[in-house]
Amino acid sequence: MDFLPIFMNLKGRSCLVVGGGEVASRKASLLLDAGADLTVVAPELANTLQAWANSGRVKHREAGFEASDLEDVVLVIAATDDEAVNRQVSELAQARALPVNVVDNPSLCTFVMPSIIDRSPVQIAVSTGGVSPVLARLLRARLESLIPSAYGRLASMVEGFRDAVKGRFDDVNSRRGFWEGVLQGRVAELVFAGKDDAARRELEASIERGEVEMPGEVYLVGGGPGDPDLLTFRALRLMQQADVVVHDRLVSKEVLDLCRRDAERIYVGKERDNHSVPQDQINQLLVDLAKQGKRICRLKGGDPFVFGRGGEEIDTLTANGVSFQVVPAITAALGASSYAGIPLTHRDYSQSVVFVTGHLKDGSMNLNWKGLAQPQQTIVFYMGLKGLPVICEKLIENGLSPDLPIALVQQATTPRQRVYTGTLSTMPQIIEGTTIKPPTLIIVGDVVRLHERLNWFTSDEEAGEKQ
């Protein structure tokens, strides 16, 4: 171990930064966040430091560094662009046994500044010992995605109950087991969901019972349009901790592969006129699994509340007293349009957008065609592939131009994405006899004209066709 990682209490203690540029500003910001009483020595200051000096957040000595600047300080950072000055600061500070850091010069440092993940009071420091600060930042970014921002609130909450837990449990092992249950169970999830008061009540009840209950819970998670990079941090965390994954046909393989590997997987996908598991049975399945004390990830393509039947499922969960969370996602319309270079609204082409399902619960297409066929409006059809000829016909009948552009996007945001474009009059013939790979999305409107100009994403399939 090249360095001993420690955390210093600098609240109200005098610290010194030598240098007034932007690098010095970043280091000064960290010291201020830690509560230091900060003095900056430099002939002139960058804008940020000058604003802090003007407001009194930092003391500024407008001059070059002198040995007397080290008097009564407990920590020093040298951040000038003059190597001789930085070396002088380091040597004088070390002679006084003061911790000193010289930016970008590990050989002159007695301590290094790590990359920090701040979930105060929880803090995580990542360091490469000054060898590769960029690598430290990359590692920090990776950890940031795995650690919920609410961990700080969770830590602050449990701090207030430590004495009560000590009084309830006699030995260390019992207390450790209790806290592990709290920090990995219902209390933590309530905090992550922003329900701090409910979490506090749950923790109080657990202390009174002398144990942590681990009731089943359903996570209704939006898997997005297909690209796993579009998942939210919260979705990924819940996918990794679920005991069972109940997933749809429209969830991409890449997204499904990010679920916990040892979790049980149950496929309940649906196709038009072919529901492997009817919706009412899916609803009951979620209830039954939760009653067994399992954590279930109900993983859906797109967003669970946009033609995802999420409302039907949580209605059943609520009726049966099952706890649940809903994690929104980038819905298919947003993902498909973005990756196809088709903005859903544009000041020159469309001032409104409407999402509509291509078939209703009873299998019909009894839609408000007059309301859909409006000028300068973008229409996005979900589940409209089989009804595409009817869609085109009805929109023309209700006043839209046969020459109005239309796009069909298959497997959007994935390497298998393919975009077919045409007009209301030509699209049925364009896709006739073509094998279309679901999921698909249909976009109707003048904004489709922008596809060729604004398309930035070329899938493997489309790239292969251009070769």
Catalytic residues: 248, 270
244 is in an annotated binding site: no
DSSP assignment letter at 385: S
The pairing of beta strand 274-275 with beta strand 270-271: antiparallel
Asked if residues 451 and 342 have their Cβ atoms less than 8 Å apart, the reply is yes
Whether cis (ω within 30° of 0) applies to the bond prior to 439 is: yes
46 is in an annotated binding site: no
409 is in an annotated binding site: no
- Could you tell me which residues come within 8 angstroms of residue 217 by beta carbon, excluding any fewer than 6 positions away? 186, 189, 290, 295, 296, 322, 323, 324, 325
The rounded Cα 339 to chain-centroid distance in angstroms is 19
302 is in an annotated binding site: yes
22 is in an annotated binding site: yes
19 is in an annotated binding site: no
Please tell me the total number of residues recorded for the chain in this structure.
467
Backbone angles phi, psi at 361, to 5 degrees: -60, -35
389 is in an annotated binding site: no
303 is in an annotated binding site: yes
444 is in an annotated binding site: no
413 is in an annotated binding site: no
| Residue 135, token pair as written in the block | 């690598």
Q: Measure the CA dihedral 289/293/299/300, to 10°.
A: 60
Please state, in angstroms and rounded to a whole number, the distance separating the CA atoms of residues 155 and 378.
47
**What phi-psi label fits residue 73: left (phi over 0), alpha (psi between -120 and 50 degrees) or beta?**
beta
Helix (H, G, I), strand (E, B) or coil at 271: strand
Closest CA to 331 of 231, 417, 240: 231
Upper half-sphere CA count for residue 327 (Cβ side, 13 Å): 25
Backbone angles phi, psi at 424, to 5 degrees: -60, -30
Q: What is the 3-state secondary structure (H, E, C) of 401-460?
A: CCCCEEEEEECCCCCCCEEEEEECCCHHHHHCCCCCCCCEEEEECHHHHHHHHHCCCCCH
For 115-179, the DSSP string reads EEEEETTEEEEE--TTS-HHHHHHHHHHHHTTS-TTHHHHHHHHHTTHHHHHHH--SHHHHHHHH
Please state, in angstroms and rounded to a whole number, the distance separating the CA atoms of residues 209 and 205.
6
306 is in an annotated binding site: yes
Please state, in angstroms and rounded to a whole number, the distance separating the CA atoms of residues 88 and 154.
44
CA distances from 9 to 32, 38, 78 (A): 12, 14, 20
331 is in an annotated binding site: yes
44 is in an annotated binding site: yes
Binding residues for NAD(+): 22-23, 43-44
Binding site per annotation, positions: 22-23, 43-44, 225, 301-303, 306, 331-332, 383, 412
Output the known binding site for S-adenosyl-L-methionine: 225, 301-303, 306, 331-332, 383, 412
